[in-house]
Chain A
């Protein structure tokens, strides 16, 4: 992994600029989240301190500092989606999965998160399932999506 990061870093004038792609690589390698070791590895590869890597990662929403499930369900609760019933969709997910936003189901299958605008305001409510947009999603679509995820396992 360190070599992979260094290869990416070569494309930048300063190695430090490669921190975002490097963290992305590290997150993929560590099962979708960034454990403390990941920061040490990225730090070593780019000649940065682990503290600095963590500071950067904690700033961005799409880096996860807590373990996530095998699937990630992210739901926009920003204005446009809220106007077309994001709250109901969220509640449907909460009921279907039995977790609150930010939590992972007990079997480690699905993590539910709320996010700010994902840029699909014309087709709210936007739900991002494993980095793929589903839009628009209504509360009644939720059981189907959850079933789909359970089947995929």
Chain B
């Protein structure tokens, strides 16, 4: 049974929106800042003396719910010292297409060797390119993501509401 009045009401809602400011963001021209603890692309860290923090213990791989980390360890020798401990990660790979960015690897790491950064623009044309090797993870990522003011997020909610 046709309901002419309800139809007109519905269109009314639509017409009203025409005069409102759009909330769509023009990505990628406009990048919305992520909050500071946003979990994006991983990063492996070195000590200040250049040695890798990662000792290849595979605890990140154990913690990973998506099973996207592969670590193959090897032994440091006096003439080939990579990390501070007895062992180092000879191969360290993260399959970014599998990763769910849960941050468990970061939690599991006993040496603070892996952290999740803010980068989320990690699309590639080929699946193989999604497998990040150790060299890629050790290198500082290209900063493409704006990060919001940390102050803003680390304050109590009432204050945030007031000033937003």
Query: Do chains A and B directly touch (beta carbons under 8 Å) in the complex?
Result: no
B-contacting residues of A (Cβ < 8 Å)?
none
